[in-house]
Amino acid sequence: MNGRPRLVGIIANPASGKDIRRLVAHGSVFDNDEKASIVRRVLLGLEATGVERVWIMPDSFGIGRKALDGVRLRLDASVLEMPHRFTHDDSTRAAALMLEAGAGCIVTLGGDGTNRAVVKGCSTIPLVAISTGTNNVFPTLVEGTLAGLAAGLAIIPTRAKACLPG
């Protein structure tokens, strides 16, 4: 991958899933502590596939910081240093920075709005979407560890995939 460490981005929207429609329709709600737990499981899945570096978008709740707190990882995971306003534009900006840095995949936690904002910044990078939004086109529940494994496997060069068991 051009000599760069394999990089995966994580963009977790702290505002997703908090819309009144979720509450009045008795839909599931993902609080931000649960999102931090999901991100932690994504990180463990990424690590299992040999991903070397992860950038997590900063957010108003500190999902990435909380996910990293107390977890032991061999991979280099950090909260992306970038100017932020804590709006949907941060997701677009973070995705563009991840694209520029050579990210092979981005894991998103959010809904349709979050994913639209991310695609604006990185239309060529594959996304692994974990649905935590209010009203989603892709409402299938995806477990964080499996999302991390999928994202990690997505960036392994084809030649290396031939060496994986199974």
At which residue do the structure tokens 């929207």 appear?
Answer: 13
Summarised one tens digit per residue, pLDDT across range 40-61 is 999 999 999 999 999 999 999 9
Our count of domains for the chain comes to 1
What DSSP state is assigned to residue 24? H
Is the residue at 2 inside a domain?
no
Is the residue at 166 inside a domain?
no
What DSSP state is assigned to residue 110? E
Cβ atoms of 102 and 2 within 8 Å: the answer is yes
Is the residue at 1 inside a domain?
no
Residue 40 is part of which domain span? 7-161
Closest CA to 18 of 89, 108, 109, 94: 109
Is the residue at 91 inside a domain?
yes
Is the residue at 78 inside a domain?
yes
Say whether pLDDT at 97 is over 80: yes
Closest CA to 152 of 18, 32, 19, 53: 53
The CATH number of residue 81's host domain is: 3.40.50.10330
Measured in whole angstroms, how far is the alpha carbon of residue 47 from the centre of its chain? 14
Is the residue at 29 inside a domain?
yes
Is the residue at 56 inside a domain?
yes
Give mean pLDDT, residues 86-114. Answer: 94
Measured in whole angstroms, how far is the alpha carbon of residue 38 from the centre of its chain? 9
How sure is the predictor about 15, in pLDDT bands with cuts at 50, 70 and 90?
confident
Burial class (CB in 10 A: 0-12, 13-18, 19+), 82: middle
Query: pTM surpassing 0.85?
Result: yes
Helix (H, G, I), strand (E, B) or coil at 50: coil
